[in-house]
Amino acid sequence: MLRRMLSAGLAALLGAMVLPAAAQTGGGTLRVYHRDNPPSASIHEEATISTAAAFMGVFNNLFIFDQSMERATTENLTPELATSWTWNDDQTRLTLRLRGGVKWHDGKPFTSADVKCTWDTVTGRRNAGWRKSPRRGWYSNLQEVVTNGEHEVTFVLGRPQPSFMSILASGFSAVYPCHVDGRVMRQAPIGTGPFRMAEFRPNASIRLVRNPDYWRPGRPYLDAIEYRIIRNRSTRSLAFVAGEFDMTFPYDLSPAVLREIREQQPRAECRMVPSNVATQILINREQAPFDNADVRRAISLAVDRQSLIEIMGEGQFVRSGILLPPPNGAWGLTPEDLADVPGYGRTVEENRAEARAVMQRLGYSAERPLRIKVFTRELPSYRDPAVIVIDHLKSIHIEATLEIQDTSIWYTTMGRRAFGLAVNQSGLGLDDPDTVFYEGFACGSERNYENYCNPEVTRRVNEQSATLDPARRRSLVREIDLLLQRDVARPMLYHGTAGTCWYPHVRGITVGVNSIYNHWRMEDAWLAPR
């Protein structure tokens, strides 16, 4: 019988694998600048680190990736609201024993009903007033959630799914309270986490305060976390250098900006890491002229990816398919894999010559260009590559104007498919193919912004998702990624690196290297004497 179980004894051991309590100093407020205005505080309803990083500390998961480990993998799962778990023989029923004595921030007890309510809402089986559920596709294999008393719950799957526990451990997989409406969760969320929501002032600030009734003894160390929203990149970087903040917003810094911070403030501790965030072109297949496959191929051929990498990432970014490539990612395509993909192989001029021939055959020329808008978000990491892409498109008789949108409406525009072409960034909740395939490319998914739907891709995605043999699954994933690239499903520009800085008195911070969303619970963070 195949059985996996993590006992409460092992949970205690894992909980002890941190610095001795005497080494930490309690109290103080961690000051962090925030780069953007979060569209809401509801982690389940949003798809941006602007929400995930700022509000992750309000919540708990059933289990989570060890926050002290840089890499989020199935080997470093650690308990939170679940204390142990067991699979049945065919790995279609995951039964979890839940932690007793846990209270929501409003004092009501946490029970198995809250777990069932959360995933019934995620999957659309329950209406809790949510406006959207971006990761519903993650749970397409989840048939039901069954409660077995107040402190036990079973997830019933339609088939085996090796990624399922990792999905539940993602920073996007918080447990929500049954008794709180979605409208409240967007502005004043209630969780079981180490911090309580004190204030959320859109376009101004966020303040979290210590939860005195937290179920984990001695945590958190901090009294509070304060985020001040500063939209201008130069202003917030200078404020950090001047000592107004203890820490930058996670993964906010480009290689050039991080280098400047190090020059101006040598005391700062900084990390530049692979982010598992891809910059990409979204092409709405239901809007003319982008409903023409030849136009989509021409756009992909026109882009000089290497120049983008040099300009945006000082050569540190990497060309890739959908998934983060090795050695940093476990599943992505290699340069050899991409050699015959449109826009990757051959020289830039050869690619553009082919693209121009396509556009001329369709009736476009220097005298009669195709005029379009390029949508993007009001963040430098979105806006700057969009400007470069617009310049590249001129080489194939496409004249584009930039349409910049605030984060508060960006995801609404994308969700309504109210665009033709957009430059976007998309990060993975974890380094596993199921998350990106089901979220971004499944027919009808909320975040399938391009309206891409290929039955063959769907068949292969379901096959890899159910494959227990890692080598066989990896081979299937490679085939799917190549098929998506050749189909010009979502032209990829690059996978980036991103930097985070903090001062030496900030301790207990770990910057993740294969997902930007999983390391911001902050219950182990503390401030040393300066």
pLDDT digits (tens, 9 = 90+) for 454-493: 999 999 999 999 999 999 999 999 999 999 999 999 999 9
- Which of 394, 390, 388 has the alpha carbon at shortest distance from 369? 394
Q: Are 220 and 525 in contact (CB under 8 A)?
A: yes
Q: Show Cβ contacts of residue 415 under 8 Å, excluding neighbours closer than 6 positions.
A: 132, 446, 449
pLDDT classification of 15: cutoffs 50, 70, 90: very low
Q: Given its phi and psi angles, is residue 425 left (phi above 0), alpha (psi -120 to 50 degrees) or beta?
A: beta
CATH class assigned to 275-497 = alpha beta
Q: How many Å apart are CA 254 and CA 259, to the nearest integer?
A: 9
Q: Show Cβ contacts of residue 310 under 8 Å, excluding neighbours closer than 6 positions.
A: none
Global pTM reads: 0.90
What is the percent of the chain with per-residue pLDDT over 90, rounded to a whole number?
87
Distances (CA, A) of 492 to 213, 291, 377, 423: 46, 18, 17, 10
Phi and psi torsions of 126, nearest 5°: -140, 140
Q: What share of the chain is helix, strand, coil (3-state, %, to 5)?
A: 30, 20, 45
pLDDT classification of 14: cutoffs 50, 70, 90: very low
DSSP-derived 3-state class of residue 198: strand
Six-digit token pair at 85? 């778990």
Distances (CA, A) of 529 to 227, 503, 504, 506, 507: 21, 12, 10, 9, 11
> pLDDT of 168-201, one tens digit each?
999 999 999 999 999 999 999 999 999 999 999 9
DSSP-derived 3-state class of residue 267: coil
User: Does the pLDDT of residue 425 top 50, yes or no?
Assistant: yes
> pLDDT of 320-337, one tens digit each?
899 998 888 889 998 889
How do the domains of the chain map onto residue ranges?
25-226+503-527, 275-497
Six-digit token pair at 305? 């990816």
Q: Are 451 and 417 in contact (CB under 8 A)?
A: yes
- Which of 31, 1, 35, 73 has the alpha carbon at shortest distance from 380? 35
For tokens 């920073």, name the residue.
Answer: 171
pLDDT classification of 344: cutoffs 50, 70, 90: confident
Two domains, one topology: 25-226+503-527 and 275-497:
no
- Which of 245, 285, 261, 280 has the alpha carbon at shortest distance from 417? 285
Pairing of β 93-98 and β 142-147: unpaired
DSSP state of 216: S
pLDDT classification of 442: cutoffs 50, 70, 90: very high
Q: Quick one: fold of 25-226+503-527?
A: D-Maltodextrin-Binding Protein; domain 2 (3.40.190)
pLDDT at 55: 98
* Average pLDDT of the chain, as a whole number: 93
- Cα within 13 Å of Cα(417), Cβ side: 16
Q: Residue 181 class from Cβ within 10 Å (0-12 exposed, 13-18 middle, 19+ buried)?
A: exposed
- Which of 328, 412, 388 has the alpha carbon at shortest distance from 132? 412
- Cα within 13 Å of Cα(31), Cβ side: 12
